[in-house]
Amino acid sequence: MILKVIAVLIVFVLFMASCAEEKSKILNRDPNGTSELQLTMRDMYDYFDEIKKELAAGNKPENIKAFKHIMTDKPTEEGKNASEVYMAMADSYFLAVENMNLEKNQEAFNQLVSSCMSCHQQVCPGPMVKIKKLYTLAD
């Protein structure tokens, strides 16, 4: 009986280890690994996609999050979010968030998306195709 219990525990541990390894492979699908900043940017995309849906339904979203930790999250390339260009683009983004929280309309939201696009044109162009999908149709 004890041997059966031990065998079941060993199989369970091996199964859990393989699941954790598989999850790690999914998270680290990027050749350079997945950084804190990449994960934050993915969260931002999902969050703003929900805001886009709210606007399309005719709703005015609550004050939206600014994700200020984009300034301190660890990037894939060390120091990338400490560059002058990145910091200037982040300031522009934060102003667009403030404007969106005041205006709460599609035009302000599109300006916010444009601030993301401007930064990605300068710093990290890879996600631009995906970011373009966030633009809303004008009123």
Read off the pLDDT of residues 40-85 as tens digits, 9 standing for 90 and up.
Answer: 999 999 999 999 999 999 999 999 999 999 999 999 888 888 999 9
Q: What is the pLDDT of residue 3?
A: 74
Read off the pLDDT of residues 62-72 as tens digits, 9 standing for 90 and up.
Answer: 999 999 999 99
Read off the pLDDT of residues 91-124 as tens digits, 9 standing for 90 and up.
Answer: 999 999 999 999 999 999 999 999 999 999 999 8
Return the closest-CA partner of residue 96 out of 80, 75, 74, 118: 118
DSSP string, 17-50: HHHHHHHHHHHT-STT---HHHHHHHHHHHHHHH
Q: How confident is the model at residue 131 (pLDDT cuts 50, 70, 90)?
A: very high
Name residues whose C-beta falls within 8 Å of residue 68's C-beta, 6 or more positions apart in sequence: 94
Contact 107, 73 (CB under 8 A): no
Q: Hey, CA dihedral for 137, 56, 108, 44, is it positive or negative? A: negative
